[in-house]
Amino acid sequence: MSLKNKLITITGAASGIGLSTARLLARRGALLSIADYNPSNLAKASSELSSLTTVYSQTVDIRSTSDIASWLSKTRSHFGDRTIDGCANIAGFHPLWAPKNIEEITDEEFEETIQINTVGLFKCLRAQLASSPEVLTTPGASIVNIGSVSGLIGFAGDSAYVASKHAAHGLTKCVSKEAGKRGIRVNCIAPGQTNTPMVQVMVQGKGTLPLPNLSLGREGQPEEIAEAVAWLLGGESGYVTGTTLRVDGGMLE
């Protein structure tokens, strides 16, 4: 699968699924604009990726409308004012305080999760699909959002995260209907338990995370999620839109 000279933006690109996606796309010839909330990790990622392809990087808080607008505008300028061919909206947050029953969750805890996973995604999609000026290549652009198996079922003690990921899947469905008229595809990936730095921090705090009933009997690797992102960004998935692709090792079977 070639993405040669396709301009792709990636949020959450400094670690985990985002960094694995950036590495894979770079190896396949894509031009990259990467964003992350952590400036030091982003600088390391940019340095690594620059040995593989042309990279623009910018520290971005996806809760900030102005941050997102600035990043997309500077991305286009950096690459000769061209439109963007694909967007991987990967930035996300899982609260370390979980599990907590809903009566134990504070306003601040709930709102932080929703602000990043739902409102942040909404703001990215709104900016990416702006038509004046046009940000994405039309027709033919592709947007891939990262949801979760938590957006497909419920988990006791994790209502904030579960609600935020259900919303991400809902946004994907609605926006795909709107963007399809312009020849833009919008899809979502629902990873199962994946070996990312965020999950590793959760394991350190809790001692262990029980593996759910997985058909494959193991957790996923970020590189495996990245392969699905790349497929949805590429032309091989040209008739796929509005869908949520489970990459979960059979967790929900």
Q: At what angle do helices 16-27 and 222-233 cross, to 10 degrees?
A: 50
Catalytic residue among 74, 165, 177, 239: 165
Torsions phi, psi of 197, nearest 5?
Answer: -55, -35
**Is 161 among the residues known to form the active site?**
yes
Q: How far apart are CA 97 and CA 204, in angstroms?
A: 13
Check: CB of residue 57 under 8 Å from CB of residue 34: yes
Annotated catalytic, 123? no
Q: Which of 123, 161, 181, 206 is catalytic?
A: 161
- Whole-number Cα distances in Å, 136 to 8, 27, 97, 179, 237: 10, 22, 38, 11, 18
Q: Considering only CA atoms, which of 94, 50, 121 is closest in space to residue 197? A: 94
Phi, psi angle pair for 147, to nearest 5°: -100, -130
The CA angle 246-170-114, to the nearest 5 degrees, is 100
Q: What are phi and psi of 185, to 5 degrees?
A: -95, 145
What are the residues facing 149 on neighbouring strands?
none
| Catalytic positions | 161, 165
